[in-house]
Amino acid sequence: MRNRFGLLGAAMLGLGVASASAQEVARVGVILPMTGPFASTGKQVVAGMRLYLAQHGDVVAGRRIELLLKDDGGVPDVTKRLAQELVINDHVVALGGFGLTPLALAASSVATQAKVPEIVMAAATSSITEASPYISRTSQALPQTVAPFTDWCIANGIRSVVTIVTDYGPGYDAEKWFKEPFEKQGGKVVAALRVPVANPDFAPFLQRAADAKPDAIFIFVPAGVGAVVMKQFAERGLDKAGVRLIGTGDVVDDDLLNNMGDVTLGMITSQHYSAAHDSDLNRRFVADFGKANEGMRPNFMGVSGYDGMALIARAIARTGGDTDGTKLIEAMKGQSWESPRGPVLIDPATREIVQNDYIRRTERRDGQLWNIEFATIPMVRDPAKAGK
């Protein structure tokens, strides 16, 4: 069955893409985990995409953009099958979404063979954009967020750290890109611990980290899992034991932050977006996002979906409505605009997003918890690609 579907796909991919350019409607296939443990990621990304179209209109260069949302449940084989069906049957002009690294990689061969742009709006392993010349990204590459953070750690007296990361691609990036620059500046990672992706129990890892008596524990987990980390951190009394908890912004996810409670207060994180970002554009984004989604607060996945839709729309505008996949991916290179997160650029050499990184402190303001930005590292490129 799989071979037969593959042969059918090979025969029809060119026809499917060609017919898309002749249609008035430009369909965008959106593949996200809408059920399962990472459903919050899917809901944020698609909400961001829909908000962009609501604010800016769904007609670009004479093309009406239509989103076709598919739930992959976080299963890579399903992601690939859905990508094939969207290209062959629905003649989509682009694929978007992709909640986790294995899901983004599962669709990469489809993007390459069909010559259809794949816009990664969540997954964060650095190497994803190297899997196909048709992949671009509007979320982040983990090294962008982690490497600049080590400068702040050293400058603020943190010399010994235990790292705890989720045991998959972005976790390896977070571990590597914290350890190497941190130790080059005289710091020491005294232990590097990895937690399973499925059914994670952080308690024993947190205890092992505390037993090592580091200056701080650095955490990376996928979006949506941070509440589990903070609950177990508090249950073991580590918040009162003088152990500093630092990490990427995934841990104190804006969407879930108010439910985590006071244990998050004072946590220092590094991330490319906060719902508290101080700009008029972001204030409108947060207000409109909440109105359209029953009060939900956007997180960094929501803004990545918003900007992913912006990138697709801007590419269609640049081509004058031509939805040929090769022309669209070329039109995405070098695009720059002001996002709710701040200025962004699609690097023409790597198709990777270039963006500010912010150091934030979790604070309570007006009765709610917010990640308050207090330092900015401007327009950070993915350091993992810098030497290539």
- Print pLDDT tens along the chain (388 aa): 344 334 334 444 444 443 333 448 999 999 999 999 889 999 999 999 999 999 999 999 999 999 999 999 999 999 999 999 999 999 999 999 999 999 999 999 999 999 999 999 999 999 999 999 999 999 999 999 999 999 999 999 999 999 999 999 999 999 999 999 999 999 999 999 999 988 789 999 999 999 999 999 999 998 778 888 988 988 888 777 778 899 999 999 999 999 999 999 999 999 999 999 999 999 999 999 999 999 999 999 999 999 999 999 999 999 999 999 999 999 999 999 999 999 999 999 999 999 999 999 999 999 999 999 999 999 999 999 987 7
Give the domain 2-139+279-351 fold: Rossmann fold (3.40.50)
Distance between CA atoms of residues 249 and 362, nearest Å: 10
Closest CA to 266 of 369, 341, 158: 369
How far is CA 320 from its chain centroid? 29
Q: Tell me, what amino acid is at 30?
A: V
d(CA 275, CA 370): 7
Helices 2-20 + 76-88 axis angle, to 10: 50
> In terms of C-beta density within 10 A (0-12 exposed, 13-18 middle, 19 or more buried), how is residue 149 classed?
buried
Tell me whether the CATH fold assigned to 2-139+279-351 matches the one assigned to 143-271+357-386: yes
Under CATH, to which class is 143-271+357-386 assigned?
alpha beta
Question: Which sequence spans correspond to the domains of the chain?
Answer: 2-139+279-351, 143-271+357-386
The residues pairing with 194 across neighbouring beta strands, listed in sequence order, are 165
pTM: 0.91
